[in-house]
Amino acid sequence: LQTRLQAGQGYGNTLSCVLTVYRNESVAGFFKGMSFPLASIAVYSSVVFGVFSNTQRFLSQLRHGDPAREPVLADVALASTAAGFISVGIGTPVDLVKIRLQMQTQPYIEGNVKLKPTVPGFPVYRGSIHCFRTVLQKEGIAGIYRGVGAMLLRDVPGYCLYFIPYTFFCAWFTPEGCISPSASSIWLAGGVAGAISWGTATPMDVVKSRLQADGVYLNKYKGTLDCILQSYQNEGIKVFFRGITVNAVRGFPMSSAMFLGYELSLKAMKRDQTETNP
């Protein structure tokens, strides 16, 4: 829904988009482009959270001589920035494949590609691997990383507004005297942080989606700035808030689960280490 609202035409609001996708593509339309993100999400999340936590520990060691010391706000911000930069390297190709597949409006038919490979409505890609290989062959590494500038502008501040609010709300929701936050505090803090991060990241998310969808059939935009200017000139300032409801709503449960899984996994590993090395 997010991709269709941000990069597509004629979908209107969220409800209209839901009905249009279901009417034209049935339930399968809501799961297009899912395989690549599913295959990579474990690696992506572990790298992002690993970079964030290890950068925090490094900065605490550098600043205080104790990696386990509670990080200050500046350290959280620097660790979030590092996580944002790293996430772009992994996430840009995955997002590009997902968006290219989602912007195809019909199932793949080989005859269509042979006859009219660049006409809207005639799919170009058979699936995730075929999409990745086709883009790489035709456009090279630059094609795979199309939209990387917009993604940097989305993810670097986006992760700052992800981890900093989480740290703040986690401490706020934890009662005084408790050594560590409860599962419910982690869940709630993670959900609020996710909604804030995805909501504020929406303008650059729109630009990124449009740049990555561009090239399926036509090449409309020359770059990030050109996409911003064309979108604003053609549709006004409201275009940069397309899909904000979907982003904010999905950000809560997704981030709640992510932070809860991360914190519980850390606790389990620390407990195992303590039992193994008393």
- The Cα 244–Cα 206 span in angstroms is 9
- Position 116 in a domain: yes
Check whether 272 has a pLDDT greater than 70: no
Identify the H or E element spanning 213.
Answer: helix 183-213
Q: Which of 232, 213, 224, 267 is nearest to 105 (CA)?
A: 213
User: Tell me, what's the pLDDT at 252?
Assistant: 94
Asked if pLDDT for residue 109 goes beyond 60, the answer is no
Domain coverage including residue 252 = 147-277
Can you tell me the distance from the alpha carbon of 254 to that of 266, in angstroms, rounded to the nearest whole number? 19
Amino acid at 88: V
Asked whether the predicted pLDDT for residue 118 surpasses 50, the reply is no
Mark whether 203 and 92 lie in a shared domain. Answer: no
Residue 113 has pLDDT above 50, yes or no: no
Name all contacts of 179-186 with Cβ < 8 Å and 24+ positions apart.
180/267, 181/263, 183/260, 183/264, 186/259, 186/260, 186/263, 186/264
Predicted TM-score (pTM) of this structure: 0.81
Binned at pLDDT 50, 70 and 90, residue 274 comes out as low
Per the domain annotation, does 240 fall within a domain? yes
Q: pLDDT tens digit string along 30-87? A: 777 677 677 778 888 889 999 999 999 999 888 878 777 888 899 999 999 999 999 9
Number of domains in the chain: 2
Same domain, 136 and 213: no
> 86 near 139, Cβ under 8 Å?
no
Per residue in 76-99, pLDDT tens?
Answer: 999 999 999 999 999 999 999 888
**Which pLDDT value is given to residue 243?**
85
Same domain for 135 and 240: no
pLDDT at 15 over 70: yes
**Beta-carbon count within 10 A of 160 CB:** 20
Q: What pLDDT digit, counting tens, does each position of 157-187 carry?
A: 999 999 999 999 998 888 776 777 888 999 9
Question: Do both 223 and 177 map to the same domain?
Answer: yes
Same domain, 110 and 130: yes
Same domain for 184 and 232, yes or no, is: yes
Q: What is the mean pLDDT of the chain?
A: 83
Highest mean pLDDT out of 22-26, 111-115, 239-243: 239-243
Given a cut of 60, whether residue 247 has pLDDT beyond it is yes
Show the beta-strand stretches assigned E in the chain. Answer: none
The reported pLDDT for the residue numbered 277 is 57
- What residues contact residue 218 under an 8 Å CB cut-off, 6+ apart? 118, 120
Last residue of a domain, one of 88, 112, 145: 145
Residues 153 and 109 in one domain: no
Give the end of a domain, one of 145, 167, 183: 145
What pLDDT was estimated at residue 177? 67
CB 201 within 8 A of CB 162: no
pLDDT at 92: 93
Q: For residue 226, give the CATH number of its domain.
A: 1.50.40.10
The reply to whether 258 falls in a domain is yes
* Position 216 pLDDT exceeds 80: no
Q: Which of 91, 113, 145 is the last residue of a domain?
A: 145
Query: Quick one: pLDDT at residue 106?
Result: 44
Rounded (to 5) percent helix, strand, coil in the chain: 75, 0, 25
Determine how many CB atoms are found less than 10 A away from the CB of residue 117: 11
DSSP 69-126: SPPPHHHHHHHHHHHHHHHHHHHHHHHHHHHHHHT--S---HHHHHH-TTSTTS---S
* pLDDT surpassing 60 at residue 122: no
Determine phi and psi for 177, rounding to 5 degrees.
Answer: 95, -15
Is 165 in the same domain as 232?
A: yes
Which residues are CB-neighbours of 166 under 8 A, at least 6 positions away?
189, 190, 192, 193, 255, 259
Q: How many residues does the chain have?
A: 278
